[in-house]
Structure 1
C-alpha cells in the first residue's frame, strides 16, 4: 500500500455539516429572519428536502447553529474567559476589550433571542443555557480571583458586558466597550479588596 499523496483533497463535508457551515456564515452576518431556506440550501449545496430530512426545518437548524457556537466558544471574549492560562482578573477585564470591527455584529445568542419571538422555539433553551453558563463562568473567574461575593460580581459584569455588546451592536460604535471597561475594573477591584 502506497503513502497518500500530499495533494489529495480532504473528503467533502457531509450535507449536515455544509448546512451547519452555511447557517454559521449567513445567520450571524445577515440575521436569522433575513436568511431564507432557499439561500441556506444554495450556499450549502443541498436541496430543501435534504435540509428538512436532516434538521426537520429551519427552526431546528437555528438551534443546531447556536448549539455549535456554544460548544466551539467562537467569540474571543468567551475563549479568553475559558483560558485558564490567563490570570482570573485578566479573564474578567478582557471581556471589555474592543472586538474586531470587521467581524463584530454583536452576540449571536442575543441577536437570535431578539429575532426569535415564537414561544417554545427550539433555540430558546440553547440561548438560555448559554447565557446562564457564561454568567457562571464569569462568577467562577471572580471566585478564582479571590473576589468577595463572586456570584454578585458575576451578575454585575454580565449585565455590563451584555449592555456594552448590545449598545455597540445597535449603534455600530465599539466605544461602548471602552466606556464599560473602567466600570468593570472598578467593580473587580472593589470586590477583590
Structure 2
C-alpha cells in the first residue's frame, strides 16, 4: 500500500521533472520540495532512476485516461485527439510531452526510462488505431502511425509557439489523410 511519503515524492517528482527536466532535478531538491526525508526516499525507491520509472508509469496511466476523456468530450472520433492536444497546449504549465522529453534526456536506448517512454508511445498508437478502426477507416494501423507522428510534431511545435494552433494544423492534415 502506498504511503503518503511515496505519493508526495511521486507528485513532486512528476511536477518538477515535467517543468524542469529529469536531469535538472536532483534528489536533494526532490527531498526539500516534497518534505520527505532521505531514509524515506530510499525506503520507497532504490534511487533516482527507480523514481523516474515510477513517475513515468504513473504519468502514462493518468495521461491516457485524460486523453480518452478529452477525446470523448470532443466527439470521440479519431480527429478529436488533435482537439484534445490543442486544449492541452493552451494550459500555462504546458511543457510538451513528458515521454518525448524523457527520451530526449536519455542517451541509453536500452534504459528502463527510454523503454517506458517507447511503450507509452505504442499504447497511444494503439488507442488511436482503435479510434480509426471504430470510425470505419481503412488502414487503421498505418493511419495511426501517421496520426502519432502528427501528434508528436504538433506537441513539440506547441512548445515553442505556446498555443494550440499546431495541433489544429495537424488536425487539418489528419483530416486529409482520412479522406
Measured against aligned partners, the alpha-carbon deviations of 1:156-192 in whole angstroms (never above 9, x if no partner) come to 11111111111222x244332232221112112x1xx
Confirm whether residue 122 of structure 1 aligns to residue 103 of structure 2: no
**TM-score (norm. length: structure 1):** 0.80
Q: How does 1:39-58 map to 2 (within 5 A)?
A: 39-58=29-48
How far off is 1:25 after superposition?
A: 1.3
Aligned partner of 1:9 in structure 2 is none
Cα distance between partner residues in 1 of 2:42 and 2:69: 32
How far off is 1:90 after superposition?
A: 4.9
Q: 1:181 to 1:86 in 2, by over 3 A?
A: closer
Q: How does 1:107-146 map to 2 (within 5 A)?
A: 107-146=97-136
Q: How does 1:32-181 map to 2 (within 5 A)?
A: 32-73=22-63, 76-77=66-67, 79-81=69-71, 83=72, 86-98=75-87, 99-169=89-159, 171-174=160-163, 175-181=165-171
Measured against aligned partners, the alpha-carbon deviations of 1:80-105 in whole angstroms (never above 9, x if no partner) come to 24x49933245345255342240211
RMSD: 2.3
Structure 1 counterpart SS, 2:137: coil
Structure 1 counterpart SS, 2:94: coil
Gaps of 5+ in 1: 1-12
Structure 2 counterpart SS, 1:28: helix
Gaps of 5+ in 2: none
Measured against aligned partners, the alpha-carbon deviations of 1:118-151 in whole angstroms (never above 9, x if no partner) come to 3532222211111001001101100001111111
Q: Is the 8 A contact 2:108 2:114 kept in 1?
A: no
Structure of higher CA gyration radius: 1
Q: Bigger shift: 15-24 or 45-54?
A: 45-54
Match of 2:14 among 15, 24, 29: 24
**TM-score (norm. length: structure 2):** 0.86
The structure with more helix, counted as a fraction of residues: 2
How far off is 1:72 after superposition?
A: 1.6
